[in-house]
Structure 1
Amino acid sequence: MNITTIEALQHGDHQAFEKVFLGYFDKVKYFLNGLLRSEADAEELAQDIFVNLWQNREAIDPQKSFNTYLYTIARNTALNYLKHRSVENTFQESSANAMQEEAYGPDEILFAQEINLLVEMTVSSMPAQRSRIYRMSRNECIDNAAIAQQLGISKKTVENQLSLALQDIRRVISAILVLFC
């Protein structure tokens, strides 16, 4: 942009603003998209930048590089947006965690953790093959046929071992529930 266009913009010339807008909008949007990786956010922020440019046109120094001025504004706008989004995400995560903790009180959370530990101890004390089959089924979400194929055993053996593992776990949990309830 030449200095006369920038001076005209500074003095409120709408045609000068239109010329600047048409000359720079796509470049600013492309620059923002590179930083934000979101075309919709880049477009919205680019529009905001040009609205602010018009509102603060008196602050433009026509003697300085307009490119540098505009890209500095775009960079700062993108950084502020990313910071705001990060704070917002952190707040949403902490709110979700707080709501989860409210839904389940400390006693319920502790009890669930103790049950999980008890299940893990029970699975660890099972015979090696039964323990392995249970972990493959429940932790790795592998279906019975695939477990049988991987271990070189029949599907019926896998089903029997899972049934025995679940019986062991039910027995231990039942004993704990009798004690605490």
Structure 2
Amino acid sequence: MTFDDLFHKYYVPMVLYADRTLRDRHVSENVVQDVFVRLWKQYGTMGGERDLKNYLFVMVRNRMLDELRRRRVEQKYQSEAARMASESEEENIFEMELYECLYAAINQLPKKTAEVLRLKLMGMTYEDIAQRQRISKETVHSHLRHGIVSLRGKISKDLLLL
């Protein structure tokens, strides 16, 4: 029996066999095509037709198992990625609420102290804040220290609510 005869005789039954388990015609066809490619490489060393039929179906079964393992790993990866995205979303919401609480608490502080804290949160140095506000570095330090002490009492209560 020629390779073409084998292909025409077994291709459709093998695809149907694979499709019962994989439930994806395209993937089932790829599995069977892969089996025939492997068979083509070994065709000269094959035995009789009866043994060849069993061999083909065992190869398809093994490739289906490989595909199912690949899907399981992919699903595990996707569910892990979804979980991480969900956690990231929750973290972003929490962080946003935290910043809202922080800025609400800062707005309740004296005007100069609040402005110094906002500038520090923006990443400015003591020197930059002192120049911008036309105050000394020691005064910047004093505003920050008093602001942080005040915020600790206000934010810790708000964080407990979150």
Mapping for residues 13-52 of structure 1, pairs under 5 Å: 16-52=2-38
Q: Within 5 A, what are the aligned runs for 1:78-157?
A: 78-105=64-91, 108=94
CA RMSD of aligned residues (A): 3.0
Q: Please name the residue that 2:158 is paired with.
A: 180
Gaps of 5+ in 2: 98-154
Letter in 1 for 2:24: S
Deviation at 1:27, TM superposition (A): 1.0
What amino acid sits opposite 2:158 in the alignment?
A: F
Q: Note if 1:71 corresponds to 2:57.
A: yes
1:92 is displaced (CA, Å) by: 0.9
Paired residue for 1:150?
none
Cα distance per residue 1:108-144 (max 9 Å; x no partner): 39x9xxxxxxxxxxxxxxxxxxxxxxxxxxxxxxxxx
Report the number of matched residues.
Answer: 101
Partner-residue secondary structure (3-state), 2:38: helix
In structure 2, relative to structure 1, the CA distance for the partners of 1:38 and 1:63 (3 Å cut) is: closer
In 2: Cα distance, 1:103 partner to 1:28 partner? 45
Change (3 A) 1:98 1:59: farther
Greater helix percent: which structure? 2
Unpaired segments ≥5 residues, structure 1: 6-15, 112-176
Give the drift of 1:38. Answer: 1.8
Identify if the C-alpha distance between structure 1 residues 63 and 26 changes in structure 2 by more than 3 Å, giving closer, same or farther: closer
Bigger CA radius of gyration: 2
What percentage of residue pairs aligned between the two structures are identical?
Answer: 24
**What's the TM-score once normalised by structure 2's chain length?**
0.53
- The answer to whether 1:55 aligns with 2:41 is yes
Equivalent residue letter for 1:99: A
1:104: Cα distance to partner? 2.8
CA shift for structure 1 position 44: 1.8
SS of the residue 1:56 aligns to = helix
